[in-house]
Amino acid sequence: MPSAAIGLATRYVLRHRAQSLLLASALGLVFALPLCLRVLVRHAQADLRARAAATPQIVGVKGSALDLMMSALYFKRQSEPALPLSALSEIRAGGSAQAIPLHVRFHAQETSIVGTELDYFTFRGLKLAAGRQITRLGDCVLGARVAQKRGLKPGDALFSTSDQAFDIAGIYPLKVRITGVFAPVGTPDDDAIFVDLKTAWLIEGRSHGHDDVAKDQNAVLEEKEGNTVANASVRMFQEVTDANLNSFHFHGDTGTYPVSAAIVLPNDAKSEAILAGQFARSKTMQLIRPRDDMESLLAQLVRLEGFATTMLLTTAAAALFVTALVFALSFRLRRREFGTLEDIGVARSSLVMVKSLEIVIIIVLAAVLTAVLYAAAVFSAPALMRWVV
């Protein structure tokens, strides 16, 4: 009789496919949500901790420590005041730490353009998969995912994106030459465009190149104390080439030029403690330890996860009660059917087995869907974290 009970239960589930699948899907979804949430949170915690632990200290202008950390670690463009480049010279002067500048203000079609120095690539373990390193003004190297997503390779070019359609400050899109592509490392570095600091300042409008004014007197507006002031007819270059490279120049003291943040690499624990003490007294700058600040952020994340999990489990309990009610009503509506089976000689215990097997089949289907969703969450967690962070 067990085989007959299995046959009856299976036939009923197949006969009412839409109802059975809907019920199994609802159960599978409410069971999968807490598991998937846990997978995503654990993956996010591991990634965030690893990135923070690999960065000893970050220095920037006083303000939000979280914004500073996200700017330096994940290249999030912030509206925070910039740090003068001369501040890095003060850190380096003592010889107890290395300072790597980062200027994260501009982007190319929503991909952050990161101005930095070659030391950053060594620090992060970034190695070229194709092409060569930055060699001059106007060069850039792409992260692996940027190159793959856009189909770019060494020798191609891209344009920086203006934040405003009409920028009266004179910050126009700059065409930069792609010289190389980094090998994938599975970090936010795969999603960035890297240039040197001077190119970042060029995009910002602190440097420019133009036609030789001395060869065109019609372009001269005024000559005063050895300085030549040109009129609007002078053509400004929007691309650095070998032919016009020497025409690009900077104005003023580059020590006052801005950087968004700087990664500080102390020589030892003593140097790290001394630097922390020095910046604790500063009224304009702050030095943070990403590991400590990240743990504070993750503590909040864990609290939110606990709250969300409680809500999801409550929803799952409610779904179980609703499912029990659905089965109870279904069996009640089928009393005549079960009565007929009893009349033709089917034992009551066998009918109980049929009902139980119908419930088991729905639960098995729900478990399969839960497993599929869980596996999908594990597989897609890295991509989801890149999109979120």
Per-residue DSSP letters for 245-304? GGG-EE-S-GGGSEESEEEEEESSHHHHHHHHHHHHT-SSEEEE-HHHHHHHHHHHHHHH
Mean pLDDT confidence for 179-188:
93
Closest-CA residue to 355 (of 318, 388, 326): 326
- Report DSSP state, residue 151: T
Least confident piece of the model among 213-222, 264-273, 372-381: 213-222
Strands (E), 81-127: 83-84, 97-108, 111-116
Residue 309: its pLDDT value, please? 78
Give the separation between CA 372 and CA 104, rounded to whole angstroms. 40
Q: How far apart are CA 89 and CA 384, in angstroms?
A: 39
Q: Which residues contact 372 (CB under 8 A, 6 or more apart)?
A: none
How many whole angstroms separate alpha carbon 292 and alpha carbon 258? 26
Cα separation, 284 vs 234, in Å, equals 40
* pLDDT band, very low/low/confident/very high, at 125 (cuts 50, 70, 90): very high
Higher per-residue pLDDT: 15 or 92: 92
Please give the average per-residue pLDDT across 150-156, as a whole number: 92
* Per-residue confidence (pLDDT) for residue 1, from 0 to 100: 47
Highest mean pLDDT out of 185-199, 221-235, 361-375? 185-199
Judged against a pLDDT cut of 70, whether residue 220 lies above it is answered with: no
Least trusted range by pLDDT, from 28-37, 136-145, 331-340: 331-340
8 A C-beta contact, residue 381 and residue 43: yes
Give the per-residue pLDDT at 340. Answer: 67
pLDDT interval class at 341 (50, 70, 90):
low
**φ, ψ of residue 63 in degrees (nearest 5):** 160, -140
Average confidence score pLDDT of the chain: 79
> Does residue 186 come out as left (phi exceeding 0), alpha (psi in the -120 to 50 range) or beta?
left
Residues of 278-294 as b/e, b for ≥16 C-beta within 10 angstroms?
ebeeeeebbbbbbeebb
What residues contact 104, with CB distance under 8 A and at least 6 apart? Answer: 71, 72, 75, 76, 77, 78, 112, 113, 114, 115, 260, 261
Decide if pLDDT at 208 tops 80. no
pLDDT band (50, 70, 90) for residue 263: very high
| Weakest mean pLDDT among 172-186, 221-235, 274-288, 318-332 | 221-235
Q: What is the percent of the chain where pLDDT is above 70?
A: 77
Task: Please give the pLDDT value at position 177.
Answer: 93
Answer whether residue 316 shows pLDDT above 60. Answer: yes
Please give the pLDDT value at position 283.
84
108 touches 146 (CB < 8 A): no
Q: Residue 143 carries which DSSP code?
A: -
Burial class (CB in 10 A: 0-12, 13-18, 19+), 307: exposed
State both tokens at 277. Answer: 């003490």
**Which residues, other chains included, contact 256 with Cβ-Cβ below 8 Å and sequence gap of 6+?**
84, 85, 86
Share of the chain above pLDDT 90, in %: 24
Q: How many CB atoms lie within 10 A of CB 124?
A: 19
- What are the angstrom distances between the C-alpha of 208 and each of 157, 241, 270? 19, 13, 43
**Alpha-carbon dihedral angle through residues 79, 85, 91, 92, given to the nearest 10 degrees:** 140
Q: What is the pTM of this model?
A: 0.75
Selected residue with higher pLDDT from 354 and 305? 305
**What pLDDT, on the 0 to 100 scale, is given for residue 348?**
60
Give the range among 40-44, 81-85, 110-114, 221-225 with minimum mean pLDDT: 221-225
- pLDDT value at 356 more than 70: yes
Evaluate if residue 82 carries a pLDDT over 80: yes
pLDDT band with cut points at 50, 70 and 90 for residue 213: very low
Predicted pLDDT of residue 80: 67
Structure-model confidence comparison of residues 239 and 200, the more confident one: 200
Between 17-21, 65-69, 190-194, the lowest mean confidence (pLDDT) is in 17-21
**Residue 224 pLDDT greater than 60, yes or no:** no
CA distance 143 to 148: 9
Question: Token pair for residue 100?
Answer: 């790597």
List Cα–Cα distances, 21 to 17, 27, 28, 31, 360, in angstroms.
Answer: 6, 10, 10, 15, 13
